Structure 1
Amino acid sequence: MRIIGGARRGLHLADVGAGDPAAHLRPTSDRVREAMFNLIQNGKAAAKSDPVRGKRVLDLFAGTGALGLEALSRGASDVTFVDDGKVALALLKANIEKMQAQETTEVLRRDATKPATNTGAAFDLIFLDPPYGKGLGELALAAAQIGGWIAAKALIVWEEGSEPTLPAGFTLIDQRRYGETVVTLLRAAA
């Protein structure tokens, strides 16, 4: 697993092998991550401006942190990672150190479906990569919306094993299948 693009392109992240099924740790492959960022930065979501550069990023179900760190490499201003898995948090912290990104990242050990109320500024770009097929993405997105984590017109990038149920208050921008992974791009209401 490595950073695909941006300032830290080629940086190898902590090796997780096939992941940790017991901990629901399933890293996004380099190929899918590259396709995802091409879709974000060159597709319909990028019609007016770069949806990554200078944005505040929230990475829910962060796992290894590869999605948020990829965004940071591509110019995001800062990333907040949310995960509650012991294995995931250890890998995430190792990857933040490898990236030398301690100053531009924050790690919150929480259940992504219950993130509490956000006390800071809302986020412009949200990655949502829950364990597949458990309905946790819907719960996390609703909780983040209620808790003030999602800025008006924020871009949500949702990785799931099948097409998710689209929540009210969001507009579908694009949806693509990459093997067993469905990537859905949503825009939050103004």
Structure 2
Amino acid sequence: MVRIIAGTRKGRVLATPTGGTTRPTADRVRQALFDVLAHAPWGGPPLLEDAHVLDAFAGTGALGLEALSRGAAHAVFFETDRPALAALRANIHACGWEERCHVYPRDVTNPPAARATPATLVFLDPPYHKGLPTKALEILTAKGWITPSAIAVIETGRDEPLPFTAEAESALPCAHTLLAERQHGAARLSIWQLASGAA
């Protein structure tokens, strides 16, 4: 069972699609993540309050909806899997946030030009071991979906190289700053301050 952990929709149970194509971020992992975002020197209330967030590879939308519950103003979701899209839209409706959310049934690595205020906080939970985080961030920045200096939260496999490192297949020369890293079971979370002018 997946729930919103804190904020105005605390305890709201989120719909999840059947099958194994979607991997919702576990409640305990989201709790740990948002604890870091709330208490880190570079985070705190200004990071979420009235923020515009983007949830790439959104699945059920648990990350973006958690951010809205904790004070974000608006969320954009990208998802292509049909069962996941149905669950995502049901969750937005159950929260009463249709006016604060936009869902794009598009491949996040091939988005249209931005139609919303650029996000300052972006969540990426892609399929593991496919080098998708750097590719998605590069194109999202180029198309105006996220600010060049956004905070990016990336979930990868525990045994997968961190994005933007020499060990990562898709590493790009850049000056992105690793702010925090946590491991939870098979998942690794890394939080990055993106560098203006790099993707």
Answering whether residue 10 of structure 2 is matched by residue 4 of structure 1, we say no
Q: Which residue of structure 2 lines up, in the alignment, with residue 186 of structure 1?
A: 192
Cα distance in 2, alignment partners of residues 175 and 86 from structure 1:
31
RMSD after superposition: 1.6
Deviates more, 1:140-149 or 1:2-11: 140-149
Deviation at 1:169, TM superposition (A): 4.7
Normalised by the size of structure 1, how large is the TM-score? 0.91
Q: How many residues align?
A: 185
Structure 1 pair 169–121 and aligned structure 2 pair: CA distance change class (3 A): farther
Once structures 1 and 2 are overlaid, which stretch shifts more, 84-93 or 161-170? 161-170
Asked if the contact 1:130/1:136 (under 8 Å) is kept, the reply is: yes
Q: What CA deviation, in whole Å up to 9, does each residue of 1:123-181 have, x standing for no partner?
A: 11100110111112221111112212221421111111134321525221111111111
2:14 — aligned with what?
A: 13
Gaps of 5+ in 2: 165-171
Query: Counterpart of 1:94?
Result: 90
Q: 1:29 aligns with which of 26, 31, 37?
A: 26
The residue type equivalent to 2:47 in the other structure is: P
Q: Structure 1 stretch 53-62 or stretch 116-125: which is displaced more?
A: 116-125
Contact 1:44 1:173 in 2 (8 A): no
Task: List runs of 5+ in structure 1 lacking aligned partners.
Answer: none
Q: Give 1:121 shift.
A: 2.3
Q: Secondary structure at the match of 1:28?
A: coil
Q: Which moved more, 1:173-182 or 1:158-167?
A: 158-167
Q: Which residue of 1 aligns with 2:37?
A: 40
Q: Is the 8 A contact 2:133 2:163 kept in 1?
A: no
> Contact 2:141–2:148 at 8 Å: present in 1 too?
no
Q: Give aligned-pair identity as a percent.
A: 40
Query: How far apart are the structure 2 equivalents of 1:138 and 1:188?
Result: 11
Q: Is the 8 A contact 1:20 1:26 kept in 2?
A: no
- Larger deviation, residues 179-188 vs 66-75: 179-188
- Give yes or no for contact 2:118–2:146 (8 Å, CA) kept in 1: yes
Match of 1:76 in 2: 72
1:147 aligns to 2:146 (yes or no): no
Q: CA deviation at 1:92?
A: 0.3
- Supply the AA of the counterpart residue of 2:25: T
Give, in whole Å, the separation in 2 of the partners of 1:26 and 1:81.
15
Instruction: Give the Cα–Cα distance (whole angstroms) in 2 for the partners of residues 115 and 135 of structure 1.
Output: 17
In structure 2, distance between residues paired with 1:137 and 1:165:
7
